[in-house]
Structure 1
Amino acid sequence: MTALRFEFLSRASSREDIDKTERLIHQAMVALGLSKERRHEYLLWKEKEDEQKLNLFNQELLCAKDVLSIIRAAAGHLPGLGILSSYLVTKDKQGNLMFKGGYRKGKDTPYAELIYPRPSREAIPRGCFLPDRIIPTEPGAFFVLPLFFESTEIGHLVIQAADIDPSLYEKIRSILSSALRGVKLFEEGDEARKRAERAEKSMSDIVSVISREIQSSIEAFDNISKLDATGAQEVEVSRLKELVRYLIDLSQAKSESVLARAVLFDPYCLCARWAEEQLKADKSNNKGSNRAESRFICARPSSAYPLLYGDPKQLERMLTIVAQLLEETFSIEGLEISIVPSIQSCELRLASASMIPKKIGATGLNRIEKDIRFELAKQICLLHGGYILFSHEGGNLIVRIGIPYPTVSGSIHNISNREAELRVIGPQGLSDHLPCGFVNGLSGKIIPYNSIFHESINPLQRILLYLDSMEIDHESSAALSFILDKEKFQNAECFIAQNAFSIRETRLEHRPADVAGFLRSILVSDSPSAILVLGSEASLHKETPIIRDLVQKPGIRPVACTSLDAFEAALNRWRPMLFLILEPMISKNQEFSTLLQRFPSIPIMAICRFFGAKEEWAGIIERPHVVFCNTGEVFSEVLAGLIQRSLESKKFLPSPTSGVVADAIFYMNKSYSEQISRWKMASYLNASEDYLSRIFHAQMGISLWNYLARLRVQHAIDLLYSTGAGLAEIADLIGFRDEAYFCRVFKRIAGATPGSFRSRSFSDVRKVQESD
């Protein structure tokens, strides 16, 4: 203002002008002072309003009992502070980043849209802040706020700020860090409380069941103690003591939750380890001290067998009880243990080494079933969802201990006589991998991994998932990720195959505790590059082999996507380098278009044998980095060049210019049979002739007229294969007025004369007729 005053006063020509200038300068200074005062008042009001909003946010978080409550509170309060979107990521106990949810609010929408994590644990790839499906595509300023508690990093928050005071970042970070720590402590305490409640309830139930039996045993002790315990009475006292001890063990078996200690285990390794422990026990008790081998032989499986789910210690205890009962009742010197998988379950079969007459066996089994120790073994098996059955086969006594296959959700289910229709999901050629007994009982449908995206699964159907870590590749990883995410597969049983010829005990040490953890561990963890091919099954069956032959760059593979679920699963598994769209219906599908918008920098190549109306491709024609190209025998070289160019990250023309090239291709597909001149096409496209030729060659890698000639020759090839029209007629139909010139162009582009193509088509027809 001082500079303005000096400038105006120097130009004043009279006293009146000087007074007027002084008066205006004074008014301006007063207005400036008022504006500063009002701005200061506004900042104080804004700070007070933001403080009030933060207090409300903090108060709601004090009542949060889980992470979802934190997300909902953030979606309700943070948009009012200028944060349009927010995504929460936390660290698990192993230090892996897990996406927990977030919200997104559009500028024109009144409420924020909640974004939930996947039903299974959604891990974030190393070096990334968010999952690929969540990475924002809209423009804006995004910030990453690390969350700490007592110098320990517990996650981070990714936010999009529209208009926010930077001083609020630290306050929001502090509030969320405290809330996350509180939720973690609450969840740990709640989990411990639930375990205690389950144990207490189970304990009270079993005590009420067996209290009468224990009371009768105590009365028997009192009666015997009144007499002089000698001879047979001493045996009876010892027997009653043993009875009470097993009753107490039975109570503990029921009261302690098997699921609390359940893990995936190798049944063969479990049986082999148990047999070794029995040998050590025999030697320590001077029983069979001269034996070099155990009385129990664990037969090596002859084919693939599964991992099972349960408490290995309890199952070993069950085997010990069964072996003791058989030894006491039948004086069996040894047992052979084998692993026998079937459609319903996996059985541990104990076969007697010596022959036992059927009549003696029936009497002895009747005595075993009345023994309280057998009740304990049976209860341990039932807690694992299994069964214990006896049978005679060829004079040998067989004990069949059935254990159910584990489920994706990690729950233990009971084996039943299932009448439900069976669906077996596995790799291609699954029948060659399954055990013999398994295949013989298999009556359901076998579904390859890659077919589950469009396979209708009925909740009443029984689903069996065959998993072999040696057969998992990138494509099957996408299918397994899809299975982990979908609720309908959570009760699916899993045959986790073990190789019978490479059994190693060390595998138990590093194996995940449950099926979901195993699935995550065998998924291909990197993000390999891929070309995602979108189309119907018919178009994919026809074009995918051609595309696979055209892709020459190592480490990149074409991935076929016939449905929206398959496309979404592929986007979560692979890093797309190129989208190939085979049909216009894909571009018109709104859900496909929404997924494509997440990758605005990835090129899209729309390929079709012949293009129809431009309006059919309206969903992608205005998108940047879109290329249109015909397919067929004479376009393979052009298509290969375009694919290779996109894989080498060489950019195509921007959208306004590429749209002119696309219009030229649609025009040629529509008017190829007419006489097309360069000035006529340029006039139709509102572009100069030189400009059109230059941008077409820059986009497609060949000249405009070379492309038109290839398009006409491709139509000629189809006419030669499908009709008996003469060469002159075909030349006229595709826009050539001179038959000789048509033949020269045809040979130059197709590499053979039109006559040789027709001869080839007749030869193919004769071969089909002869085969018929």
Structure 2
Amino acid sequence: LVQPLFIENQPLGYLITSISDRDGNMHEDLRSSIASALKGILLFEETVRAKEVAERAEQAKMEFFATMGDGLKHPLLAVLEKTRSLEDEVRKIELPGNKELSHAIGTLGKELESHLSAISLLFDTTLAQAGILEMNMRLIDATAFFDECSEQLKIPVRKVGKLPMFCVDERRLKQVFAILVDSLRAFQPVEICVTIEVHALVSEIRSTTDRLNVEVPGGAVQLAASLVLLHHGTLRRHAGAYRIELPWPSIGSRISTLTERGSKIIGHITSRSDARCNESIVELAERTGYQVRSVPADRIIAGEDSLDDCDVLYWDIPEASLDQFVAMKKLSRHGLVYRIPILGFGDGMAHVDIMDLVNSKTIGRNSSSVIFWNLPLSEYDMLSATVQAISIENKDQFVRVLQECRPSLIITSSTDGNQMSCIRSNEASALIPVLVLAEKLPEWRELEAFCAYPHVVLYHAGVVECDEFILKVQDLSQGGEVLPVHTGALVKRSLKYIEEHASTQVSRWRIAETVNVSEDYLTRIFKKELGLSPWEYLNRYRIHLACDLLVKTNLTLSEIALQTGFQDQAYFCRVFKKIRGCTPSELRTD
């Protein structure tokens, strides 16, 4: 029996079967089922192809805008510099007509500056809307930030008392305020009013005149809105004013979540129960109906107060003693408290977030030893200031160290099962986290066996020269959590896939598909396990491969870029300089 296979008038081929039963309905059901199955396969293949096309288009877009902006600006900057030099030379020479010539050159310089500003605005807006604009987020003092804004923009800033710290890209946020203030300049006077709310820092940029509904240029304001969004904040325009809300940081993140429990309590982290609040917190409590409850640090450390009733935390960092930092370290592992807003007063000291600040005060004072097994300490001197290192070479030395102290972390370069069994079979080290820095990841079969060991974090040795790795070592040595075995195995399999395919056009969805999870879920567990996103890890591994080729071969930069998975030399050089701090040519020369 020969039957055509088709779906919605689309021919798929033919089904040929031997006739053992003359029931036509049965043969029709069989034909229909097979046709549907084939259609499903074809649709799946089309989806995969569409994903690949979309991924290539997205990557091409990112690389284009990342390199094109500099490619357009650099020639204009060179011409502008020469124009300024020429203008200065003309002014020095006293000849007839020089005044008019100098004026013409000055006008040309202003036009070049205008073009540069337009190009920067265009590319910044495009990158911000695509979510790929580079942001340098840091913990800074909001009081100092708005004082500088007031001085630079020549406008008053109204605020009540001292402001807490917030986590922002200082340069980009100043750009936001400059754009919004300029959009209201025609309606002088302009002022900024800053208010502390329990969920966010609220800033209003407003004109005090009656002209409220005037259209303002959209391009620059659109960039400002995108920049605020990249800060996880909101920007609204109403009644001739702009309102910006920027969330407070939390212990576990640069942004917080206000989970109101109905108690309306601000937990004051302090060393004594009678500590006084600053005027900003007093004003906030009176205005919002919140109560301030003093929480001594020693009660948190002893487990006598877990702050389950608090919606917000208040912490005066310059006055904080060591026990307060230890208490905050403990709260970072609390299932709910680690996410709530922290109104922390201090200068931020250039830390990336609250946890980084806490670690800087507790690491080294309250840390245990870290064992480096068959790893030369000279190659990891970036860790010497953060941990107490003990270097060992064999099993006998390991056993002797365990008899003398209880290390908080073991760092090794070996994925050998014998060494791991030695660590896990000893009762004293059975639960100690192990951080493996492998020059080459195990083959798939050995990797599956390796994934079965609990409390093990795996890195490729070529990606560890970064702040995120140092923070990970600090976190693990201070008792930080490691992903469960089955979840950690997903990350380790992803690392193996990246190692095998880094020289090709790897896509994020393909990595996620390899381990049968969604892209968002993989990014979350990857970041939690390694401190890096899959894309950041991939770029660092590619640059590691490129460094090896730069030193050991005479390949051109373009050839090296293609062999390490970059589509073009310009993007390769840009990523290389960002990660290594120098250009590929400079590294090869050195």
**Category of TM-score, reference length = shorter chain:** 0.3 to 0.5
TM-score (norm 1): 0.28
Larger radius of gyration: 1
TM-score (norm 2): 0.36
